[in-house]
A and B are shown apart, each in its own frame.
Chain A
Amino acid sequence: MPVRKHDQHMKMFKNKGKDETTLRRQRVEVSVELRKAKKDEQILKRRNISINFKEENPSLGHGRAAEIIQPSLEEILEAVNGEDSQLQLLATQATRRLLSRHKDPPINQIIELGIIPRMVEFLGRADNAALQFEAAWALTNIASGTSEHTRAVVEGGAIPAFISLLSSPHMHISEQSVWALGNIAGDGPIYRDALIARDVIPPLLALVSPATPLGFLKNITWTLSNLCRNKNPCPPLDAVQKILPVLIILLQHEDKDIISDSCWAVSYLTDGCNDRIQVVVETGILPRLVELMDSPDPIVLTPALRAVGNVVTGTDQQTQEAIDAGALTVLPRLLRHARSVIQKEAAWTLSNIAAGPSHQIQQIITCGLLPPLVEVLDKGDFKTQKEAVWVVANFTTGGTVDQVVELVRSGVLKPLLNLLLVKDSKTILIILDAISNLFLAAEKLGETDKLCLLVEELDGLEKIENLQNHENDMVYRAALGIIDKYFSGEENTDLEPQTGQDGLYDFSVEKKDFNF
């Protein structure tokens, strides 16, 4: 949930506290979610089901694969616990096959058999590569399930076994271990850090070389991304610093899956406090990320945009680096992207740039972002519109009078006022805040009346008036404040040229700072 650091209490006061608030909104994980899990996120755990049967049993064709006799669970249990290596291999293979079937793998039943410790033991059988491989595969697929499933594998002692297998002379075993470790790391910060503490990173990185086959490299990249993933806490800084140089190299790869997973990794590393963002910014990777943000392929674009979006939640300087890398020149296209999730992310990114100082806001204007902003505000889907409202609110808070005028000239007012009908109190409140900001700018220009007319013409006055009946107290107060300040007694202003002040000296404070 985007969180604004701005204290809500501030809204109750007429004057805005420009200086002491920062408007940047970090991507904060919500502990409560009502919606279905997001569809556009990177996958956390994966089961190995795709390796074809030919490889394991070249003499058998597809047609005959079905004829393999599948032992019962009892038979498996007996064989695995027995001493006959051949039977052990067959039973392990059978287990792996069960766990690799497309539908409903019996993970729970396998765990309940209690054979995991034995499988972990098999991982250490350097004399029997086939057994090692089958056990690794089976355990990979168990670890790919729920947290409980993963825990069963970890508690079976698999972490050190898998880490030592990274250096196995057999590439397919080391690749399977990479996969298993990826699943374990993907479970959450605790196992991730447990892996890091066991020094998983050096042997993992050692596997990356120009000669690494593509499929293997994809697995490594994915596992690396899971080692960067998750917060509370973030991965240890020294681990990050070890991984980053390799990620930078991987980002230059030509395969889009590798690029995508590397981008996700970077996006996780930038999803945190400014110090973490700084570590990434210092690698000089921003121009490449911005280039990838412009990719035609959503699997690359999405994480690249996410990463850049995270960077601009940072300090003004970090944001400036993203701007210098060209982020603002790509955003117009993304705001007009065919997929609404991308529009939404782009608008979120823009909202944080708009929270910056006025010279950055100027760059937003120069890069032609106002027209697409107005478009999404008008026609975007609801989630995008909400983010676009934040852009306007931040822009009007930090922008100079001239910049705010430019925003109004771009036609922001009509869609903004239309959004006062949305069914979301928070968004309404932010819009009212933005409207107040517009009025403050108009006051400085002495054009309050003009803005009043414009707001009324666009049916905004009626909407604000209706909000005075809103159930939400803050919304009601904000609407009332605007009506009181700008729309009551508007008759007096058009009456007479010599409309006088009531006192000898017009301190104008009586209008502006009246609430002191």
Chain B
Amino acid sequence: MELSDANLQTLTEYLKKTLDPDPAVRRPAEKFLESVEGSQNYPLLLLTLLEKSQENVIKVCASVTFKNYIKRNWRIVEDEPNKICESDRIAIKANIVPLMLSSPEQIQKQLSDAISIIGREDFPQKWPDLLTEMVNRFQSGDFHVINGVLRTAHSLFKRYRHEFKSNELWTEIKLVLDAFALPLTNLFKATIELCSTHANDASALKVLFSSLILIAKLFYSLNFQDLPEFFEDNMETWMTNFHSLLTLDNKLLQTDDEEEAGLLELLKSQICDNAALYAQKYDEEFQPYLPRFVTAIWNLLVTTGQEVKYDLLVSNAIQFLASVCERPHYKHLFEDQNTLTSICEKVIVPNMEFRAADEEAFEDNSEEYIRRDLEGSDIDTRRRAACDLVRGLCKFFEGPVTGIFSGYVNSMLQEYAKNPSVNWKHKDAAIYLVTSLASKAQTQKHGITQANELVNLTEFFVNHILPDLKSATVNEFPVLKADGIKYIMIFRNQVPKEQLLVSIPLLINHLQAESIVVHTYAAHALERLFTMRGTNNATLITAAEMAPFVEVLLTNLFKALTLPGSSENEYIMKAIMRSFSLLQESIIPYIPSVITQLTQKLLAVSKNPSKPHFNHYMFESICLSIRITCKANPEAVGSFEEALFLVFTEILQNDVQEFIPYVFQVMSLLLEMHKNEIPSSYMALFPHLLQPVLWERTGNIPPLVRLLQAYLERGASTITSTAADKIPGLLGVFQKLIASKANDHQGFYLLNSIIEHMPPESVDQYRKQIFILLFQRLQNSKTTKFIKSFLVFINLYCVRYGALALQEIFDSIQPKMFGMVLEKIIIPEIQKVSGQVEKKICAVGITKILTECPPMMDTEYTKLWIPLLQALIGLFELPEDDTIPDEEHFIDIEDTPGYQTAFSQLAFAGKKEHDPVGQMVNNPRIHLAQSLHKLSTACPGRVLSMLSTSLNAEALQYLQGYLQAASVSLL
């Protein structure tokens, strides 16, 4: 492409088309541009257009296109074509800085981004004159230009804030410092001087303050990795000026906007960050300046208003004080009683107030409000910062601070009492203050776990919280109601149980409140109370204590789901689940109505599942209903199937992916409830479960395997008699799973069920093939996980079919295979098997090989007898070997798609651990002793002689212990 007018014209037309709303016009134009972007001069044409085009829209479009082009193509990736030829690269680098600086702001930003992308690749080696070119512009006196340079520098240098220290990085920083630090410092001083010369010129001040903000940001980036020599030498200049900027105010810079932070706020905020950086990392050098900053920042806080636009500044400033007051050598700065009082009074209390913005969120954006208030995503809020400061101060001054605040709390409560409807916010602040003062440690699961002993929480509860909740009108003062409920929730471990019992009916009552926050908090509080544990790990609140409230609890919970805004409220659904779990059989009378409501809900949300937590707890609740009811009355399973299968069918037919894994789990649970033969309704579904499409989704695999296992457990003979032709398909699933390193253990779960439950003759013809598959995998990609599963499987096989059968099938695949597996896999790896049941299966299997397999006694395999016995004793006595071979350390997480994230396991659909050798063998050590005894009776002398010649002494000692315990001896 030549740099011709014709080409410029063509490009202009295509660029224009890329702005067309009609995709039929837009797409081909985009495609065209992409097809020519590899041509020489293409980027230069774009640069020409963005500079010279007559139409502003084309200028902007060209600049965006250019930026994206650079982003896609500038980096040279090995083995991929380099789309930008060298001469274009040189031309771009030569022209872009002046072009950026002379462009209007909109275009300047795009070009500045492009420069930083190029800089990331080429700076400093391949773009040595960039810095000088930029620094030279500082002299220009044109702050439009200077700000362009500063902005570009900021985007180039901000990575110093998060990258790891390395010689390469530090070489770059050193280079930047050498060229940039002094000019930046001079610019800083000059800009501050200009600010006072132009103190009465609003528009000049705005430009100058934008520069100061960028300079302060650059200071942060350049000082982040370590304290550079230059800045240490010039600390006086920087810190003195930062300090005076913190205390500066100018009416011309104040903005009317309440929400958006103005230039002054942004600058002061950044200065707080800079001071915090120095205080944290360069304490020794910064110490002389720190007290001044503490005073300035504290004064700043006292004089800053309540508007939202100050939030970031205030929270940064408070966090600075909070981090300093905890450090022992600055303790003295806060020690004085007047200082403490003043901080409490003027900094903490005002920032804890419930503001208009909070009130708005409470009413109109409850979800966000709850998230912030309950789940602690309130990091940047003022209240949170104030709370942190309280906790920081309490580290050294718990007594005095508690004393100061107690006075405040009392006076705020008195204000409230005078006129509740006007002064309710005072009470809100009082409760918040008590909460932040009292809580020293907190978790979601237990609420507050460590409290300030100087605060009497129960007294406050009885006198100030309960009365609000007892009020007959649930919709009055919703904020105070929410505060009260939250108080119960977080101090549940501090308030005595009898008070909790008093509050339970009150909480149930508040499930009816119109305010979303209030009824959500009520549900959440109940849910939390129901999880509390008392002695013996039993729930603190018992089903018996709840008996009088069962009906109203269930009614109100389900009613709350019909309140506006709460139709998929996860807190309510979780409370339903928890209530079922606590109440157990006392919910049975209400099940018909409950299950109807749950299925209706399920049907409704399956149209568009959008709240994963809500859905999860809904399925948990369904599982609980089934479990609880069928435990008392197994026949009831039929009525559940009747209620649920219709919706399930619809879910499966519409392929509602989010719900399918849940459906399989609920079906497994239902199927396992059947005591007799598998119902035909299930058998009809069986072939569909083997459909490959289902197995392609990783989230389906665990629940599907689980469901197939339930089929095998309950219906192996039915499958054999009515669906024998599906057995290869079933084994196909096994093969699919075994091929994957991520899912092979699921394949073994399935295989184990097949071996355990299917009649031997039904799988006879496939057995050899199964082993061949396993051996292939063993040979090609052996992993520790695979070996562990494999060992358990072959031992289970041995238990089920006998040791001789195992030896025969191995050796029929390849001569001496059995010995090879013993020697290379079983003996060296058996120590890796983990899990009680798994170890037991292996112990019984190996015992059988040792004592019930004639070839072990009289062929070349005999030499493996002692090593195998020794390995078995090791399995009994040595700690598990959890080492992993080196090469397996490098299996990346990303290589194995996880199901843990995709698959949501239902806790209440879980099955009990199954022990296939449970009935046969109780104590495997004794079983070994008895089996050896039997063997030695069959061939007297042989066992003893083998033992005495080659078993190591320690193992022998253990073995003698087993023989003694079994009261047998060897002949």
Contact = CB atoms under 8 A, between A and B. Distances in A.
Interface stretch (A92-100, A210-218, A264-272, A501-509): A501-509
B741 A516 contact: yes
Given A470-B162, A495-B581, A515-B893, 12 more contacts: A1-B165, A19-B886, A34-B177, A423-B281, A489-B904, A489-B905, A502-B702, A502-B905, A502-B910, A504-B914, A512-B834, A514-B742
Nearest to A481: B893
Contact of A13 (B328, B838, B892, B912): B892
A336 interface: no
Interface string B518-533: 0000000000000100
A514 B898 contact: yes
Interface stretch (A70-78, A314-322, A453-461): A453-461
B6 interface: no
A213 to B, nearest CB: 39
B174 A34 contact: yes
Interface string A437-460: 000000000000000010011100
A16 B450 CA distance: 34
Contacts of A422: 280-281
A379 B328 contact: yes
30 contacts: A1-B167, A13-B891, A17-B889, A30-B167, A33-B170, A34-B174, A34-B226, A35-B229, A340-B284, A453-B443, A457-B441, A457-B443, A457-B450, A462-B376, A471-B161, A502-B702, A502-B905, A502-B911, A506-B837, A506-B838, A507-B785, A507-B788, A507-B838, A508-B834, A508-B835, A509-B785, A513-B784, A514-B896, A516-B784, A516-B785
A491 B164 CA distance: 36
B524 to A, nearest CB: 13
Interface stretch (B127-135, B398-406, B475-483, B745-753): B745-753
B912 A505 contact: no
Interface in B730-771: 741-742, 745-746, 748-749, 752-753, 756
- Top 5 A-B residue pairs of the complex, sorted by shortest distance between their CB atoms: A500-B910, A503-B749, A471-B162, A32-B170, A495-B907
A466 B443 contact: no
A508 B709 CA distance: 18
Chain B CB count within 10 A is highest, among A10, A422, A514, for: A514
Chain B CB count within 10 A is highest, among A13, A34, A36, for: A34
B910 A509 contact: no
Interface of A: 1, 8, 10, 12-17, 19-20, 30-36, 340, 379, 381-382, 422-426, 429, 453, 456-458, 462, 466, 470-472, 474-475, 481, 484, 488-492, 494-496, 498-510, 512-516
B908 A495 contact: yes
Given A12-B892, A457-B442, A495-B581, A31 B745 contact: no
B396 to A, nearest CB: 12
A272 to B, nearest CB: 19
Nearest to A487: B444
Interface string B788-830: 1100100000000000000000000000000000000000000
B161 to A, nearest CB: 7
A34 B227 contact: yes
Contacts of A13: 889-893
Contacts of A457: 441-443, 449-450
A470 B446 CA distance: 28
Interface in B676-710: 702-703, 705-706, 709
B163 A382 contact: no
Contacts of B911: 500-502
B865 to A, nearest CB: 27
Contacts of A472: 162-164
Contact of A15 (B177, B703, B884): B884
A14 B895 CA distance: 12
Nearest to A2: B165
B225 interface: yes
A484 B901 contact: yes
Interface string B433-461: 00000000111111001100000000000
A54 to B, nearest CB: 39
Interface string B149-188: 0000000000101111101001101100100000000000
Contacts of B232: 35-36
B746 A503 contact: yes
Given A382-B280, A496-B581, A516-B741, A509 B449 contact: no
Given A340-B284, A506-B835, A34 B173 contact: yes
A105 B835 CA distance: 79
Contacts of A502: 702-703, 705-706, 905, 910-911
Contact of B164 (A10, A15, A425, A490): A425
A453 B745 CA distance: 30
Contact of B792 (A10, A34, A505): A505
Nearest to B379: A466
B277 interface: yes
B464 interface: no
Contact of A34 (B228, B327, B742): B228
Given A14-B893, A508-B834, A514 B900 contact: yes
B224 interface: yes
A178 to B, nearest CB: 33
Chain B CB count within 10 A is highest, among A31, A36, A458, A516, for: A516
Contacts of B705: 502-503
Contacts of A429: 164
A425 B169 CA distance: 13
A199 B413 CA distance: 89
B499 interface: no
B445 A34 contact: no
B164 A426 contact: yes
B954 interface: no
Nearest to A382: B281
A470 B163 CA distance: 11
Contacts of B86: none
Contact of A505 (B280, B328, B703, B837): B837
B888 interface: yes
B535 interface: no
B162 A17 contact: no
A423 B907 contact: no
B913 interface: yes
Nearest to A449: B445
A34 B892 CA distance: 36
B877 interface: no
Nearest to B706: A502
A143 to B, nearest CB: 26
B283 interface: yes
A186 B317 CA distance: 49
A512 B783 CA distance: 13
A504 B531 contact: no
B565 to A, nearest CB: 24
A334 to B, nearest CB: 18
B834 to A, nearest CB: 5
Contacts of A481: 893
Contacts of A491: 907
B779 interface: no
B745 A381 contact: no
A503 B708 CA distance: 10
A32 B226 CA distance: 12
B886 A17 contact: yes
Interface string B903-924: 0110110111110100000000
A278 to B, nearest CB: 28
Contact of A496 (B443, B789, B896, B908): B908
B633 interface: no
Contacts of B895: 515
Contacts of A501: 910-911, 913
B791 to A, nearest CB: 10
Given A426-B164, A457-B449, A35 B741 contact: no
Contacts of A490: 445
B227 to A, nearest CB: 6
B883 interface: yes
